[in-house]
Amino acid sequence: MPNGSLDKFIFENMSRKIEWERLYDIAVGISRGLEYLHNRCVSRIVHFDIKPQNILMDKDLCPKISDFGLAKLCKNKESVMSMLDARATVGYIAPEVFSNNFGGVSHKSDVYSYGMVVLEMIGAKNIENFGSNNSSMYFPDWIYKDFGRGEVMRIFGDQITKEEERIAKKMVLVGLWCIQTNPSDRPPMIKVIEMLEGDLEALKVPPKPLFCLPTATVPETLEDSRHGISSSSKPSQFRRHAYSLSL
Q: Which residues are catalytic?
A: 49
Q: Residue 206: name the closest of 216, 214, 195 by CA.
A: 195
Residues 6+ apart with CB under 8 A from 156: 126, 129, 165, 168
Residues 6+ apart with CB under 8 A from 58: 1, 2, 3, 64
DSSP line for 89-154: -TTTS-HHHH-GGG--BSTHHHHHHHHHHHHHHHHHHTHHHHHTT-----HHHHHHHHHHHT-TTG
CA–CA distance, 216 with 137 (Å, rounded to integer): 8
Q: For the chain, what is the total number of helices (H) and then of strands (E)? A: 9, 4
